[in-house]
Chains A and B, each alone.
Chain A
Amino acid sequence: LAKTTQPISMDSYEGQEVNITCSHNNIATNDYITWYQQFPSQGPRFIIQGYKTKVTNEVASLFIPADRKSSTLSLPRVSLSDTAVYYCLVGGYGGSQGNLIFGKGTKLSVKP
């Protein structure tokens, strides 16, 4: 199973770029890397997903090195509303849903 490791917490200020790294040393060839955001008392919500290199959407970028043993979620110019817990998820290809392992999450606190 591709276990993931993330920092427990991070602090930032409004307008800064935040980078959260997730380690997944045992990632399988067919595994994708997905990041979710969770606000208090809500279910997680999809942010971004990738397999290798770099992926960018309207809210974040995801950087994945060639060995795929880690990934970095980049949030540009964070605001107070980005305060949340961010989860890295590895797996989920085809029938391997049972290998879905969420990390313990990174609690991001954005200060004014």
Chain B
Amino acid sequence: NAGVTQTPKFRVLKTGQSMTLLCAQDMNHEYMYWYRQDPGMGLRLIHYSVGEGTTAKGEVPDGYNVSRLKKQNFLLGLESAAPSQTSVYFCASSYPGQGPNNEQFFGPGTRLTVL
């Protein structure tokens, strides 16, 4: 099993450009998440999904859109990139419910730089 994979690993954008980050998981998890990680800020939840066709906002959703058309994929889009979106983006997935089933499995991250 590949677990959680993210594409691309690195990307440099110019201000105003758009792009889509792809997250894929092969563990049949219902829940998927997108986080951003900035120095000194820890991980902050951008958007999440509790199932195919559903998405919801997290702590810092502005400037991002997401889609979950297939259970195994969760896409994060930046319509008009800004320098403030320079960050490392992590995708995660988990089973629903409480207790041990809530363990999140993280991908390797995507390092995005917006010039």
Contact = CB atoms under 8 A, between A and B. Distances in A.
Interface string A91-110: 01111011011111100000
* Pairs A-B, 6 closest by C-beta atoms: A43-B106, A104-B42, A102-B43, A46-B103, A92-B102, A93-B98
Interface in A68-105: 87, 92-95, 97-98, 100-105
Interface in B20-53: 31, 33, 35, 40-45, 48, 50
Contacts of B62: none
Interface string A36-64: 10000111111001010000000000000
Given A42-B109, A49-B103, A95 B50 contact: yes
Interface of A: 30, 32, 34, 36, 41-46, 49, 51, 87, 92-95, 97-98, 100-105
Interface stretch (B64-72, B73-81, B89-97): B89-97
Main SS class of interface, A: loop
A94 B98 contact: yes
A36 B57 CA distance: 22
- Interface size class, chain B: 20 to 34
Contact of A41 (B31, B98, B106, B109): B109
Nearest to A1: B59
A62 to B, nearest CB: 12
A30 B107 CA distance: 27
Contacts of B90: 43-44
Contacts, number: 68
Contact of B106 (A44, A97, A100): A44
Contacts of A51: 99
Contacts of A98: 45, 48, 56-58
Contact of A45 (B40, B43, B106): B106
Nearest to B102: A92
